[in-house]
């Protein structure tokens, strides 16, 4: 009969309309900014640089290898390498960035920089409220603006950060063991062949 | 609006010029008509309300995707593929990954194949749900259908966000697998969505499928014959609505699609109603695939460990990877010269090719139908003007 299809449709709309008053999961409006949806742990908006310890400048993990600069698809990272070296996160002397800028107005939030960084130095932030009235200066972030502590990283990506810490600790332990072995070798060589064998047996290798 | 006489400022060859065309009206629909997507516009010649001639003008987004990809590393192109068709970033990822995997002879682990199928079918669900919503919107049914479609899309985008960190620009697949392991409890959330989704389909059917106004506006409108559809190279739901049984998931069986039991819904008349129905039925088939994939997904690695992320250089050669995206055949053609970036990179976009027959679908129908017919093609301009 003509009109039954329309009537059926109207029943459906009515059901949805009144349903939104009784069913909790149909009330989906969030009163932003007073109310906020929890962010997914995987959320990625713009990159930041991780530093260990309390001082952002000396604690930066970045060694200015410039891999992320090369791989960034829209080329929005600008790095200048230092002339001297300082110890990095695992304790090896490394270069550090004297300039590390990201133009966030260009960044496409793709996370390629995070993936290619061999030093766990750059990670994705979940901050999304970036509006500024200064389009050019305000969205070109320098290394101080980009630096965030490891604690902060743990807050926003707990699972990932724990894994990263474990991996870094393992690397550091390896590096320490190697340094130790390198230190003990000349001593062993000086104290004679018999001692060297016993030394070798007890070493970490 | 333009009158019959060709004016000097038209950049295009004027459509209504030949003698005997007096009384015809050439109008430009779009690019900012609410129902033309993005920069698209239609140059239509009208006889009263009837469309006599039509020229789709795709506009200029100046994305330059293909050229950018030729100067970027293989990995750096992956996030750009997301932006081709922002309704299907995961399927775009897959098509590109497939082409590179063919080029470099990479084996994808089982688990990753299953994850790819799950994400691709979810993508199809949310794409079709919104397409139908937009279609109804274009027909004048503003409100309910589009909102219902978007409501379902949102739940699926929540899943994408939890998995990939982004709702639309997922950048999730990698050569040889996927970027990250599924977060805990993710598969259960997908299961819940998959069990609840048919309720939405039933609701849609109640709301629309037998609605007399919808039937009057869609049946026998915008007919595209089988032969013409094949000649025009049309793919996806538009082709299948014309009754051609052609689906890359069956024809090419990429990934692990040969393991799933599902049917290919076909239309009979190739009109607007069939294109709508084919999409509705396709969503039900996607649910079937998802159920099977969720049941069978194995544990294991998600990426081939031998594939390099940085400094990836495939051997010289060429490859074409194609998939059945929600809009049709999406293919990537790559030529490698052994360096870190492709020598040639070319996209075969379904939206662009499906658009070529717009005039044939619209000729003889009224302006109001034109908008609806255009809505059933389901295009995204990012893919049309790469
Ligand atoms: S997220 Fe992507 S675009 Fe942004 S800085 Fe990193 S690599 Fe560049
Ligand atoms: S962030 Fe990482 S990849 Fe980029 S320069 Fe620093 S250490 Fe290298």
- Each residue of B283-310: pLDDT tens digit? 999 999 999 999 999 999 999 888 888 8
User: Which residues of chain B does A9 touch, with a Cβ-Cβ cutoff of 8 Å?
Assistant: 206-208, 211
- Structural domain containing residue A30: 1-36
User: Which residues of chain B are under the pLDDT cut of 50?
Assistant: 1-12
Query: Burial of A103 by CB count in 10 Å (0-12 exposed, 13-18 middle, 19+ buried)?
Result: middle
User: Which residues of chain B does A112 touch, with a Cβ-Cβ cutoff of 8 Å?
Assistant: 75-76, 78-79, 171
CATH (domain of A98):
3.30.70.3270
Q: Is the CB of A101 under 6 A from ligand 2?
A: no
Q: Cis peptide leading into B203, omega within 30 of 0? A: no
- Chain segment A131-185, per-residue pLDDT in tens: 889 888 889 999 999 999 999 999 999 999 999 999 989 988 888 888 888 777 6
| pLDDT for position A193 | 45
Same domain? A125 vs A156: yes
Buried b (16+ CB within 10 A) or exposed e, B96-131: bbbbbbbbbebebbebbbbbbbbbbbbbbbbbbbbb
Same domain? A109 vs A82: yes
* Mean pLDDT (whole number) for A125-134: 89
Protein residue whose Cα sits closest to atom 5 of ligand 1? A107
User: How many domains are contained in chain A?
Assistant: 2
| pLDDT for position B310 | 80
| pLDDT for position B100 | 93
pTM of model > 0.95: no
- Chain segment B16-52, per-residue pLDDT in tens: 555 556 678 898 887 876 667 778 888 999 998 899 9
| pLDDT for position A136 | 83
User: In what helix (H) or strand (E) does residue B330 lie, and over which residues does it extend?
Assistant: strand B328-336
| pLDDT for position A203 | 37
Question: Per the CB < 8 Å rule, is B148 touching A16?
Answer: yes
Return the residue of A nearest to B213 by Cα.
A6
Same domain? A12 vs A61: no
Same domain? A63 vs A8: no
Whether A55 is in a domain gets the answer: yes
Whether A151 is in a domain gets the answer: yes
User: Which residues of chain B does A6 touch, with a Cβ-Cβ cutoff of 8 Å?
Assistant: 211-213
Same domain? A70 vs A153: yes
Q: Average pLDDT of chain B?
A: 88
Q: Is the CB of A153 under 6 A from ligand 2?
A: no
Whether A183 is in a domain gets the answer: no
Residue B333, helix vs strand vs coil: strand
Whether A66 is in a domain gets the answer: yes
* CA within 13 Å, CB half, B259: 14
Same domain? A95 vs A161: yes
- Note whether A193 contacts B: Cβ–Cβ < 8 A: no
Sheet holding B50-57, edge to edge: B25-29, B41-47, B50-57
Q: Is the CB of A77 under 6 A from ligand 1?
A: yes
| Test the A interface: residue of B207, B219, B308 with most A CBs within 10 Å | B207
| pLDDT for position B140 | 82
- Which of B144, B214, B310 is facing A71, going by the closest CB pair? B310
Question: Per the CB < 8 Å rule, is A42 touching B183?
Answer: yes
Number of other CB atoms surrounding residue B1 within 10 Å: 6
- Which of B183, B212, B309 is facing A115, going by the closest CB pair? B309
Whether A94 is in a domain gets the answer: yes
Instruction: Kindly report the nearest CA distance between residue B167 and chain A, in angstroms.
Output: 9
Strands A147-149 and A46-51: parallel
| pLDDT for position B31 | 80
Same domain? A31 vs A52: no
Q: How far apart are CA B9 and CA B40, in angstroms?
A: 19
Whether A198 is in a domain gets the answer: no
- Which of A8, A28, A116 is facing B210, going by the closest CB pair? A8
| pLDDT for position B5 | 46
- Chain segment B209-221, per-residue pLDDT in tens: 888 888 888 999 9
Whether A192 is in a domain gets the answer: no
Which of A41, A98, A115, A83 shows the shortest CA–CA distance to B73?
A115
Same domain? A51 vs A147: yes
| Position A201 confidence tier, pLDDT thresholds 50, 70, 90 | very low
Ligand number nearest to the C-alpha of A82 = 2
- Chain segment A87-101, per-residue pLDDT in tens: 877 777 889 999 999
Same domain? A2 vs A50: no
Same domain? A27 vs A110: no
- Note whether A115 contacts B: Cβ–Cβ < 8 A: yes
- Tokens in use for B346? 């070319």
Return the residue of A nearest to B157 by Cα.
A40
Same domain? A13 vs A60: no
Integer angstrom CA distances of residue B205 from A6, A96, B210, B214, B290: 12, 62, 7, 12, 21
Contact present, B354 and B10 (Cβ < 8 Å) = no
Same domain? A101 vs A2: no
């Amino acid at each position: 009969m003509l009109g039954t299809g329309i009537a059926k449709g109207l029943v459906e709309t009515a059901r949805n309309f009144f349903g939104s008053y009784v069913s909790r999961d149909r009330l989906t409006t969030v009163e932003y900014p007073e109310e906020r949806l929890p962010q997914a742990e995987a959320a990625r908006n713009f990159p930041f640089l991780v530093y260990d310890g309390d001082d952002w400048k000396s604690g930066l993990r970045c060694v200015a290898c410039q891999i992320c600069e090369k791989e960034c698809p829209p080329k929005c990272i600008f790095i200048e390498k230092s002339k001297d070296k300082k110890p990095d996160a695992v304790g090896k002397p490394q270069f550090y960035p004297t300039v590390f800028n990201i133009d966030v107005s260009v960044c496409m939030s793709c996370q390629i920089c995070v993936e290619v960084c061999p030093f766990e130095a750059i990670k994705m932030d979940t901050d999304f409220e970036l509006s500024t009235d200064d389009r050019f200066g305000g969205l070109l972030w320098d290394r101080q603006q980009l630096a965030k502590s490891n604690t902060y990283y743990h807050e926003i990506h707990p699972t990932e950060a724990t894994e990263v810490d474990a991996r870094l600790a393992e690397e550091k332990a390896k590096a320490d063991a190697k340094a130790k072995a390198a230190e003990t070798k000349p001593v062993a060589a000086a104290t004679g062949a018999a001692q060297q064998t016993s030394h070798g047996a007890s070493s970490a290798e | 609006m333009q009158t019959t006489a060709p004016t000097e400022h038209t950049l295009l060859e004027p459509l209504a010029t030949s003698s005997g065309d007096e009384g015809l009206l050439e109008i430009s629909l779009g690019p900012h008509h609410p129902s033309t997507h993005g920069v698209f516009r239609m140059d239509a010649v009208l006889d009263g309300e009837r469309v006599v001639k039509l020229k789709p003008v795709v506009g200029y987004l100046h994305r330059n995707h293909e050229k950018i990809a030729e100067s970027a590393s293989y990995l750096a192109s992956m996030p750009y593929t997301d932006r081709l068709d922002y309704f299907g970033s995961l399927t775009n990822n897959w098509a590109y990954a497939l082409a590179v995997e063919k080029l470099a002879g990479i084996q994808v682990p089982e688990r990753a194949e299953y994850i790819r199928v799950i994400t691709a079918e979810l993508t199809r669900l949310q794409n079709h749900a919104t397409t139908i919503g937009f279609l109804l919107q274009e027909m004048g049914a503003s409100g309910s259908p589009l909102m219902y479609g978007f409501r379902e899309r949102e739940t699926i985008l929540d899943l994408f966000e939890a998995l990939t960190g982004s709702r639309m620009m997922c950048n999730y697949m990698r050569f040889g697998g996927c970027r990250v392991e599924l977060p805990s409890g993710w598969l259960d959330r997908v299961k819940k969505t998959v069990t609840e989704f048919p309720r939405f389909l039933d609701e849609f059917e109640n709301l629309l499928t037998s609605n007399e106004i919808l039937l009057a506006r869609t049946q026998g409108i915008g007919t595209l014959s089988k032969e013409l559809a094949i000649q025009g190279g049309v793919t996806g739901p538009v082709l299948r609505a014309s009754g051609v049984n052609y689906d890359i998931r069956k024809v090419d069986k990429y990934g692990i699609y040969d393991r799933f039991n599902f049917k290919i819904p076909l239309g009979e008349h190739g009109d607007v109603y069939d294109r709508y129905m084919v999409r509705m039925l396709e969503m039900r088939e996607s649910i079937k695939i998802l159920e099977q994939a969720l049941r069978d997904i194995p544990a294991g690695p998600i990426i081939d460990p031998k594939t390099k992320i940085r400094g990836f250089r495939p051997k010289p050669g060429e490859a074409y990877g194609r998939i059945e995206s929600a809009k049709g055949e999406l293919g990537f053609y790559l030529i490698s010269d052994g360096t870190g970036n492709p020598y040639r990179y070319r996209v075969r976009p379904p939206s662009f090719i499906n658009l070529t027959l717009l005039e044939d679908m619209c000729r003889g129908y009224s302006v109001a139908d034109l908008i609806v017919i255009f809505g059933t093609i389901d295009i995204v301009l990012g893919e049309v003007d790469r």
